[in-house]
A and B are shown apart, each in its own frame.
Chain A
Amino acid sequence: SYELTQPSSLSVSPGQTARVTCSGDVLAKKYGRWFQQKPGQAPVLLIYKDTKRPSGIPERFSGSSSGTTVTLTINGAQAEDEADYYCYSAADNTVIFGGGTKLTVL
């Protein structure tokens, strides 16, 4: 079965760039996605098809892909970006999730 691995936590200062990585064999053949989740709220899709940003998502959020790793980059992180970030992919009739990265902006 597939697995996705991401760091459990990351801390940046306001205005800095945050990069969250997600690695797994499935990403070599399937798209990676990212969503943001704040406490008590539903997931908000940030990135799909490795690099595409849905309408309404700020441009400071971007995605990239290389081999078996996808990366979410937040350029100029803001206090409001403090949240949990999850990567996921879809393959073989299932959806595979990373364990989530808690981003602290302080």
Chain B
Amino acid sequence: QVQLVESGGGVVQPGRSLRLSCAASGFTFSIYNMHWVRQAPGKGLEWVAVIWSDGTVEDYADSVKGRLSVSRDNSKNTVYLQLNSLRAEDTAVYYCVVASDALDMWGQGTMVTVSP
């Protein structure tokens, strides 16, 4: 079954860290760039980060640059998002996404709540 499954979300205090995971199955994970996208409660979608298929290139939205870090392990078909120095405005559902000419997929998301 072709799917993306995120995990690792939860409630965390401001300033703390969290690592999200996205496990892929049913397709050749290693050939696709992987994106992370987030959606704050009641808001639209915001692109957060991308990592190229071979892991050599990362790019980030200005709003998270320096605090979030994306990585991947192609041997485990998994992409990660490390969230550091979390702020209240990072509260959102985080989705991993494939958005290529050959494949489009969304995970079901994982909720991150930043609260004292």
Dominant secondary structure at the B interface: strand
B100 adjacent to chain A (CB < 8 Å): yes
Q: Contact between A33 and B44 (Cβ–Cβ < 8 Å)? A: no
A interface list, Cβ under 8 A from B: 31, 33, 35, 42-45, 48-49, 86, 88-90, 93-97, 99-100
Tell me the bound Cα distance from A92 to B44 in angstroms: 20
Q: Contact between A99 and B95 (Cβ–Cβ < 8 Å)? A: no
Q: Contact between A94 and B105 (Cβ–Cβ < 8 Å)? A: no
B55 adjacent to chain A (CB < 8 Å): no
B interface list, Cβ under 8 A from A: 33, 35, 37, 44-47, 50, 57, 59, 61, 93, 95, 97, 99-101, 104-109
Q: Contact between A42 and B47 (Cβ–Cβ < 8 Å)? A: no
Shortest distance in angstroms between B3's beta carbon and chain A's nearest beta carbon? 11
Point out the residue from B57, B61, B99, B109 that lies within 8 Å of A90, measured CB to CB: B99
Dominant secondary structure at the A interface: strand
Shortest distance in angstroms between B44's beta carbon and chain A's nearest beta carbon? 5
30 contacts between A and B (CB under 8 A): A33-B104, A35-B106, A42-B95, A42-B109, A43-B106, A44-B106, A45-B104, A45-B106, A48-B104, A86-B44, A86-B45, A88-B45, A88-B99, A90-B35, A90-B99, A90-B100, A93-B33, A93-B50, A94-B35, A94-B47, A94-B50, A94-B59, A94-B61, A95-B47, A95-B97, A96-B47, A97-B45, A97-B46, A97-B47, A100-B44
Shortest distance in angstroms between B71's beta carbon and chain A's nearest beta carbon? 16
Nearest residue in B to A52 (C-beta to C-beta)?
A: B104
Q: Contact between A95 and B37 (Cβ–Cβ < 8 Å)? A: yes
